[in-house]
Chains A and B, each alone.
Chain A
Amino acid sequence: MKTLSLAAGLACLATVAQAEIPIFTVLTYDSFASEWGPGPMIEKGFEATCACDLRFVTAGDGAALLARVQLEGADGAGDVVVGLDTSLTSKAAATGLFAPHGQPAVTGLPIAYDDPLFLPFDWGYFAFVHEKTLMAVPHSFEELAASDLKIIIQDPRSSTPGLGLVLWVKAAYGDRATEIWAGLKDNIVTVTPGWSEAYGMFLEGEADMVLSYTTSPAYHLIAENDDSKAAAVFAEGHYMQVEVSAKLAASHEPALADAFLAYLGSEAAQEVIPTTNWMYPAMTLAKGLPPGFDSLFAPEKSLLLAPEKAGDMRDIAVEEWQNALAQ
């Protein structure tokens, strides 16, 4: 009995903080809303103008976020979603749960991207990150496959970078993807469920390279004053991750949702992105990128499958990956 009343007490605790001003709910992934992510500053900035109480509800990553939106369905409590990526948008659009954002197209991407439902708020390139001391850094998947370097990658079935990687190989090599994967098989030390396990293991010295982002070295440089990490430039180009926000059709506060999406695209919110989400902002910042980002390379070739194509390719690419590695 005691435990029951304690439980009830805990449940109440969670509900007391009801404010009179409207509650505005942002569905996002964990690291966006965390203390170190862009969440707190964006919350503060938006609340200063909106006369609302912004609350984050989180899911593990982009894919989990979409699953969460689908779980909630047409009567969900969320107003906007922040953090889907382009490998998910065609599937997200098909759910019919999103409403047009009505915002002008963003200008800060190296490619043209204009979608009535999904509005980019940041972007980056996938890349293999390594210690600068690494000899003979490979400059393509083929070189990597030919080397005896050890890499850690993420599972495309449970993580967005993992999915980005199989789409990267698919976008760069098309029908040769299976062959590339077969060549990479003996380089892959292991496949982790998510980005953080892989990156953690890389930092512990379990592998020579890890699948991450071209912007990862900037974190170490800016936050830790450590310039020992670099991202390998691949000649076939780098696959992009474009992270988007969207307005939910079920939003109870559509006006606030519009205002929020506008705010997220504004200079004030965008300048927070590089050093909190460690991605490129979706606009060209008036004061430029923070120092540290200038030392990063810009790939000569940006790869990105169009959303519908990415949606179609997804299952095939994952299956090829799985068949090549499982043997």
Chain B
Amino acid sequence: MLRLENVKIVQDDFHLSADWAVPEGARLAVIGPSGAGKSTLLMTLAGFIDPVAGRMTWNDKDLGPIPPGKRPLSILFQDQNLFPHLTLSQNLGLGISPRLTLSAEEWDKVHAVLGRVGLDGMGARAPAQLSGGQLGRAALARALLRNRPLLLLDEPFAALGPALKAEMLDLVLETTAETGTTVLMVTHDPNDARRFADLTVLVAEGVAHAPRPTAELFANPPPALAAYLGQ
């Protein structure tokens, strides 16, 4: 269970508070107007921003003192998910060993995961040689290799076309379902939330509201969400 207990985030004149929990294995959409703090919430969970109050726990373990790389989570950013000077295999290998000292079996695993996300045989390529969709797949593949119980998606597929984005989300669904990974996904598209998430967190007006079942939330939107949706 991911729990946020009275978490308060303050950055200059920006405020955000959250006080709720997500059950393990849930798929959660984080939706809200831009600038409301969706990304900030994820960055705080990932350890790049320290909350000024409250605590965050994963299965009762306090995340606060844990450095970003050691937290039980993987994060995909909007861009810059791969190092341009490393090959695809090397980028993925970092998911297994941050020192990039992999055994033969571990390299096999890297190549297997590449195949799993549809990038078979592209391990030697540099990121600059890949398309946007392929870059997203590669980043996802590394998250799979890291095999952390929590996956944070900060709109990594925002730049992709609808069909490609749907394909990527399906891939996320498929692969995380196998491992029972808890997924938090920032999105500004209600369709993504409906398609992907059983729970949705609305971030608006300085508050990240407690998650509610997605269908129910959209059927009966609170005023802030209604305003965002233009209803």
A and B touch in the complex (CB under 8 A): no
- Chain B interfacial positions (CB closer than 8 Å to A): none
